[in-house]
Amino acid sequence: MSRGITPAGLIGLALGLAFLYLPLALVVLFSFNASRLVTVWAGASLRWYGEMLSNAALLGAAWISLAVGVLSATLALLIGLPVAWCWRACRDSPAARSSVAWHMCRWCCRGYYRPRFVAAVRRARLESRLHHHRHRHASLATPMSPSWYMRV
Higher pLDDT, 62 or 101: 62
Predicted pLDDT at 55: 94
Quick: pLDDT tens for 80-136. Answer: 887 777 666 666 555 555 555 555 555 555 554 455 656 666 777 777 766 655 555
Report domain extents, the chain: 8-54, 56-111
Please tell me the pTM assigned to this model.
Answer: 0.44
Q: For position 32, what pLDDT does the model report?
A: 92
At 144 the pLDDT is: 52
Q: Report whether pLDDT(151) > 50.
A: no
- Helix H segments across 39-145? 47-54, 56-90, 100-109, 113-136
- From the list 36, 40, 60, 58, the residue with the least C-alpha distance to 48 is 36
57 against 148, higher pLDDT: 57
